Chain A
């Protein structure tokens, strides 16, 4: 699977949008970009994923650059409960059973 690079940490004010960048310059054509998060003392939680087009769901939006070498996860109105470690991973569509996370970005939402 392609490797990803994320900032180690970032702060965000409550109620503001949080923009989390991820670089995946070696992504191949059949690999999806996935985002998960892990709140302290809980298991990872799926957020969103995409291949080429931008995606939006009830939790977040995913913006993928045209060359697919980077993406941004957007939490439109961050709340204190969004404080978590956010993981960006890329993986082939057929490789569903096997997830692998790196260090991720520790996001702290402040009141």
Chain B
């Protein structure tokens, strides 16, 4: 079974531009979460999508947005890029995305390799 894939793997943009990152979850997984990872702040939650709906959102400005398609693939967009947006953007998928009685593996998150975004 293929893992989570993210494209592109590396990206260089200039301040003020916008960028769209793509994530394809593991086949059958319906929940997709996005994270930003920087050396200073560590891993920070951006948002989570389930069945094309944003269920949860982290504490990021409105420049960060996302969406999920009917095939569970997800994109995130960052508009008006700032230097501080340089980071590794990680996507994680899970089968159902919420803990319950069905067993831990149904809710565990599997990460993709990330997209390294550099803003100059």
Contact of A43 among B31, B56, B90, B108 (CB under 8 A): B90
A41 to B85, CA, bound (A): 18
The answer on a CB contact under 8 Å between A99 and B35 is: yes
The answer on a CB contact under 8 Å between B45 and A98 is: yes
The answer on a CB contact under 8 Å between A94 and B111 is: no
The answer on a CB contact under 8 Å between A44 and B111 is: yes
Question: Main secondary structure on chain B at its contact with chain A?
Answer: strand
User: Which residues on the A side are within 8 Å of B58 (C-beta)?
Assistant: 98
B5-63: which residues lie under 8 A (CB-CB) from chain A? 31, 33, 35, 37, 42-45, 48, 55-56, 58
State which size class the interface on A falls in. Answer: 10 to 19
In the complex, A68 has a CB within 8 A of chain B = no
Sample of 19 further A-B pairs with CB below 8 A, known A41-B113, A101-B37: A42-B111, A43-B111, A43-B112, A45-B111, A46-B109, A87-B43, A93-B99, A96-B94, A96-B99, A96-B107, A97-B55, A97-B97, A98-B33, A98-B45, A98-B48, A99-B92, A99-B109, A101-B43, A103-B42
A100 to B112, CA, bound (A): 16
User: Which residues on the A side are within 8 Å of B35 (C-beta)?
Assistant: 99
Question: Main secondary structure on chain A at its contact with chain B?
Answer: loop
Closest to A92 in B: B99
A73 to B113, CA, bound (A): 24
A61-82: which residues lie under 8 A (CB-CB) from chain B? none
User: Which residues on the A side are within 8 Å of B114 (C-beta)?
Assistant: 42-43
The answer on a CB contact under 8 Å between A44 and B48 is: no
User: Which residues on the B side are within 8 Å of A42 (C-beta)?
Assistant: 111, 113-114
A49 to B105, CA, bound (A): 11
A101 to B35, CA, bound (A): 11
A103 to B42, CA, bound (A): 6
Q: Sample 21 A-B pairs with CB under 8 A, ordered by A number.
A: A42-B111, A42-B114, A43-B111, A46-B108, A46-B109, A87-B43, A94-B98, A96-B94, A96-B97, A96-B109, A97-B31, A97-B45, A97-B48, A97-B56, A98-B45, A98-B48, A98-B58, A99-B33, A99-B43, A101-B37, A101-B43
